[in-house]
Structure 1
Amino acid sequence: MKEFLVELTTTPPAGTEPAEVGRRRAAESVRAKELAAQGHLFRLWRPVGELRSIGVWRASNETELREEVLGTLPLWPWMTAVITPLQSHPNDPGHGR
């Protein structure tokens, strides 16, 4: 699988009921755990004081990542994504592990 740096920002549509946002966020947590168990979600961070996430995700290609991985997230319809394909750096201290 290839690795991708993914920056996700979630913006619920104006007027969305708080209960719906809460329901989707709870479902998002469940789905993220499933994707981690499948090897798609490798690492995930939230910058301090911000409502976005930055993660390392794995998929065969960007199409699979968008459609079959990220597209299954309950909050995906409300997300904007910046996806950057990654490759190993020869000076990476973890390279070859």
Structure 2
Amino acid sequence: MEFLVDMVTTVPDGTSVDEVAEMREREAARSAELAAQGSLLRLWRPPLGPGEWRTWGLFRADDGDQLEMVLASMPLREWRHDSVTPLSPHPNDPAQPAR
């Protein structure tokens, strides 16, 4: 299954610039691992407001429980709220093979 995940991060008040940089580095490393494993397919940056930190991700998992394990393994989850939308194939998707 594929899932679209809207990830909104809120850095806690009082977090140092160095702590944010370290968290971003850990997140980038984990994202690369998940991509190599085939769990993380794509990331997008939607239009952002001032100070907003948000990402849309396309993930692949067997089911919602496996997706939750993947999302929980990401360091930024500590500061993040995720909204998950399960996706189903569309019969007119041009990326799907002809039937």
- What is the TM-score with the length of structure 2 in the denominator? 0.89
Where does residue 91 of structure 1 map in the other structure?
92
Please point out which of 51, 54, 79 is paired with 1:52.
54
Contact 2:9 2:80 in 1 (8 A): yes
Runs in 1 of length 4+ with deviation above 6 angstroms?
none
| Residue of structure 2 equivalent to 1:5 | 4
TM superposition score normalised by structure 1: 0.91
C-alpha deviations, 1:39-85, integer Å up to 9, x for none? 0000110013352111110111111111x211111111110001000
Give the residue type in structure 1 aligned to 2:42: R
Name the Cα RMSD after superposition. 1.3
Alignment of 1:1-97 (within 5 A): 2-50=1-49, 51-66=53-68, 68-96=69-97
State the distance in 2 between where 1:5 and 1:74 align. Answer: 19
* Aligned residue pairs, count: 95
Cα deviation, 1:8-51, whole Å, max 9, x if unaligned, reads 01111111122111101011001100000000000110013352
1-side partners of 2:2 and 2:48: how far apart?
A: 26
In the aligned structure 2, how far is the partner of 1:25 from the partner of 1:46? Answer: 15
Which ranges of structure 2 fall in alignment gaps of 5 or more residues? none
Q: Secondary structure at the match of 1:75?
A: helix
Unaligned runs of 5+ in 1: none
